[in-house]
Amino acid sequence: MRLKLCVILLVSAACVYSQLPGEGTPESPWVIDTASDFDTYRRNAGFWTGSTVLAGDIDLSAYSPYSRSPISPDTDTLLGNFQGTPFSGTLDGQGFCITGLSINPYTASGKDHEYLGLIGKISSSGVVKNLSIFLDINPAEDCESFCVGAAAGKNLGLITNCTCHAEITLLAGANVCIGGITGYNEGNIQRSTSSGFIKCGGGSNRIGGAAGFNSCGDMMLCSSKVNFVLGDSSQYIGGLVGYNMDAEINQCWAGGDITRLSTAADYPDYAGGLAGRNCSNSSIKNCFASGEVDGDEYAGGLVGKHENSGIRKCYSTGKVTGSLHVGGLAGKSDSDDPDVYDSFWDTETSGRQTSSGGTGKTTSQLQQKSTFEG
């Protein structure tokens, strides 16, 4: 009887994996060619540990809206906890697109799951590459403790050569991390772009064009053109990253505009063309920002507030407005001699003659190669 049971289990497992072509190895990856293939893939966590490729564009409209992430979903409803199977394999889009993905994280019984995106959570060994993702999230109720991004709710692995378009609308939120690529990044994001819009009615915490919270993560050769419309009590908003902590951003660009839902409210607290807040031994180098920034307490063309971190060879050109600490490059730094070198802002387009760090230049001067030499 035991031998029969073992044979049955082995045959059953083989049947599960035989539903997709391939063996899940780098030499013979599983192949997703249709939306039906994708549905098979997402329903079997065993696939998420191996190598998988797309063989064509995938339209998920017929399966949307999902109530949670299709791959590696959060399986509990407890605030701040991920209970599920993290994605630890490799998903290679081979240049193809996943479209029609929409998520509404509410069911008839109330709030469902918190880590939202194509993938709920990418583990430190997980890789997503060469993929375009189009995501729409528009929950009908207020949100709390959400991590949201087109590629992943939270990333501890590698996202590279991906194009993400996210359209995210929240009535209001508390303790949320929202990004065009990932909500919370502790891994690496390389050679990837994001576009779209993020609209939050109020109470949102960390929001960025690529990543809402970049904690101990690295971003290199990335760009973002995500526009933001923000409500009351929004805190850390950046064209690329909302909150950059003990992390590195190198050779990146952001061009999204940050605007207020109402000019009467005092928000967002920290707003920057590239990063809302840059702190805790972080590094920003070889970057620029061109989006307009309409902040409140700390507003800067590149960063809203800069603390105990370095900025090298960066510049910003966007218009900057705010009510308290407002600067062309940085709204506020933690010292009178901030660690900002070889960095500039456009005094004409920004409408700002001062900054907490950096050197102001005219539009004409910023177009001269000699400005950036030396």
Of 345, 205, 191, the residue nearest 253 (C-alpha): 191
Please list the residues that pair with 305 across neighbouring strands.
Answer: 277, 332
Give the Cβ contact number of residue 278 at 10 Å.
32
Write down the pLDDT at residue 79.
Answer: 57
Q: How far apart are CA 193 and CA 180, in angstroms?
A: 9
Quick check: is 8 in a domain? Answer: no
Q: Does residue 6 lie within any of the structural domains?
A: no
Q: How far apart are CA 212 and CA 342, in angstroms?
A: 27
- Cα distance between residue 346 and residue 359, in whole Å: 9
Phi, psi of 48 (to 5 degrees): -75, 0
Residue 127 maps to which CATH number? 2.160.20.110
Q: What is the pLDDT of residues 49-81, one digit of tens each?
A: 999 999 999 999 999 999 899 999 988 766 567
Instruction: Quote the domain boundaries for residue 57.
Output: 20-372
Determine the 3-state secondary structure of 8 from DSSP: helix
Report yes or no on 223 lying in a domain.
Answer: yes
106-107 vs 110-111, strand pairing mode: antiparallel
Over residues 164-181, the pLDDT tens digits come to 999 998 876 677 899 999
pLDDT for 12:
40
Number of domains in the chain: 1
CB 328 within 8 A of CB 350: yes
How far, in whole angstroms, is CA 75 from its chain's centroid?
Answer: 22
Q: CA–CA separation, 218 vs 206, rounded Å? A: 17
Within-domain flag for 14 = no
Is residue 12 situated within a structural domain?
Answer: no
* Counts for the chain of helices (H) and strands (E), in that order: 3, 45
Residues of the chain with pLDDT under 50: 1-16, 108-110
Q: 224: Cβ–Cβ under 8 A, 6 or more apart, which residues?
A: 180, 193, 194, 195, 208, 209, 210, 239, 240, 252, 253, 254, 255, 256
Task: Tell me, yes or no, whether 268 lies in a domain.
Answer: yes
By CB atoms closer than 10 A (0-12, 13-18, 19+), residue 144 is middle
Judged by DSSP in three states, 25 sits in coil
Tell me, yes or no, whether 7 lies in a domain.
no
Contact partners, residue 141, CB within 8 Å, separation at least 6: 106, 111, 171
Determine, yes or no, domain membership for 13: no
- Which pLDDT score, from 0 to 100, does residue 3 have? 44
Give the whole-angstrom CA distance, residue 128 versus residue 51.
10
